[in-house]
Amino acid sequence: MCKPKKIAITVGHSFKSGGAVGSAGLSEWNFNNQLALDVYMQLDNPTLYRVFYRDELRYIPAMNKLHKEIDEWGAKIDIEMHFNASRNKDAEGSEVLYRSQRGKIVAQIIQNKIVQNLVGTVNRGVKQRLTGRGSYGLKIGKSISVIVEPFFAEEQRFFDYKSENYKNLVSAYVEAIQELQTLEEFL
């Protein structure tokens, strides 16, 4: 049996800097705040999981502070929740960003569960991010960090918290986190 791992669930962006706004008028922060809480409530051992939030500081200081808190708590994995945005109103699909080879394993597990649970979702794959948007948060801290973008802001079907699509998204995260707990101690 594998030793249980602490897994951080991070809500992307912050209350004031909410990120992209979806077709239902919800920012990434607003949507993922509820999503993170719904995922957390379905996990079986709450002492192994914690929801983290970024402060209202400028990006670099905020990320440094956030990852210091995650490191002090002892997380092995950090799952940062987002959704994607594009000027192309037809953009759709799921992708997970990672930096390291261990991050790629984590990213692939999460991506597989999202694609399995969200019927009809375009699989945009896992993508290594060494530079550009989001790359700073993937390289700091001791935990293996990934950024999850399960859909695009234009995909209205995910924004109703009572919909099957939303429930399936919650299930995808829960199943991925449960599978991450079964990984041998390469992490």
Any bridge partners for residue 53, and if so which?
A: 11
- Alpha-carbon distance of 119 to 14, in angstroms, equals 30
Structure tokens at 59: 């990006």
Span 114-160, pLDDT tens digits: 999 998 999 999 999 999 988 999 999 999 999 999 999 988 888 89
CB 153 within 8 A of CB 20: yes
Instruction: List the domain boundaries for the chain.
Output: 7-181
CB 54 within 8 A of CB 63: yes
Please give the average per-residue pLDDT across 7-33, as a whole number. Answer: 91
Span 40-81, pLDDT tens digits: 999 999 899 999 999 877 899 999 999 999 999 999 999 999
Please give the average per-residue pLDDT across 77-86, as a whole number. Answer: 95
Give the helix ranges, DSSP H, for the chain.
Answer: 28-42, 59-73, 101-117, 135-139, 164-181
pLDDT band at 186 (very low <50, low <70, confident <90, very high): low
Lowest mean pLDDT among 13-17, 77-81, 111-115: 13-17
pLDDT value at 185 more than 70? no
CATH class of 7-181: alpha beta
